[in-house]
Homo-oligomer: A and B are copies of this chain.
Amino acid sequence: VSGGPNVDRSGHRRPLSRERIIEAAIDLVDRHGLSVFTMRSLGDELGVEPMSVYRYVNGREDLLEGIVDHVVSQLHLRVDDDPQRQHADGWQAYLHWLAHGVRALARKHPNVFPLIATGHPATPWLRPPLRSLRVVEDFLTTLISRGFSDEGAVLAYRAFSSFLLGHLLLEVSTVVAQASPAEGPPDNGDVDRLLGGGLAHVRRLAAVLSEDHATAEFERALEDLLDRLDRDHRMTDAAGRLPAGAVWQPWWMVVTLDR
């Protein structure tokens, strides 16, 4: 009668549930990585035989989807938390807040994020890492209510998800690499062994390449994206179309013409 994970503190049996299974799975992945997550190790974690979870979950694939849903749903909990934002600030403030919310989730669950990034979403246009219909609805509502055209809002949604995916996937992969002390710091012998010759710059800049400026770079790229969306937004006419040639020109040609 010792208190296993299925017995609460008053000695009563605590039954399994989809919720509890998914939370245990997330915890397991967070601590030990995706590769050691199996139905059997999950059973151990829950103090239960592996087959028991099939009562609550339609197989491994469904469980992985449940993990993704559970993590991204933490985002629109935060949306509801902050109702005054909905009307007070501009769309830039909203995208800024959303970007940092997703980044916080990614850093909190670095081993889950690749799952969010590469798992096939429910519909093709639900782009990682914004894999929640409610978040997408919120996104479109906010931008359109601030004067974006339909097409402009969708363009912004695509550009925004691409930005988040690239930056955060690379950021969490370095976080994971740091956490696993498999390889020591990249000393010179390490680099030398990997390459024959003629890699002078890589060798010389190994230390600079290893520096971590993830926060500053994220911020920088985000400001730049918001800036671009603003320019496109101002440029679009009522029908939401870009004036031909103005935007799609390579910028250096535009600069040349300006002189």
Partner-B contacts on A (CB < 8 A): 92, 114, 117-118, 120-125, 127-128, 133-134, 136-137, 140-141, 144, 150-151, 153-155, 157-159, 161-167, 169-170, 173-174, 176-178, 183, 186, 190-191, 194-195, 198-202, 204-206, 208-211, 213, 216-217, 219-221, 223-224, 226-228, 230, 247-252
Contacts and interface: CB of A to CB of B under 8 A. Distances in A.
Contact of A123 (B155, B163, B194, B205): B194
Given A120-B173, A127-B170, 17 more contacts: A92-B252, A114-B118, A117-B169, A120-B177, A124-B174, A124-B210, A125-B186, A140-B205, A144-B201, A158-B170, A159-B220, A159-B221, A162-B170, A166-B167, A169-B169, A220-B248, A226-B250
Tally of this chain's copies: 2
Contacts of A227: 251
Query: Of residues A183, A228, A247, which shows the largest number of chain B Cβ atoms within 10 Å of its Cβ?
Result: A228
A130 to B, nearest CB: 11
Contacts of A162: 166-167, 170, 217, 221
Query: Of residues A118, A125, A151, which shows the largest number of chain B Cβ atoms within 10 Å of its Cβ?
Result: A125
A231 to B, nearest CB: 9
B133 A194 contact: yes
17 contacts: A114-B118, A120-B177, A125-B186, A128-B169, A128-B173, A133-B194, A150-B204, A153-B201, A154-B211, A155-B213, A159-B221, A162-B167, A166-B166, A220-B247, A223-B251, A226-B251, A230-B251
Given A150-B208, A151-B208, A210-B125, A158 B217 contact: yes
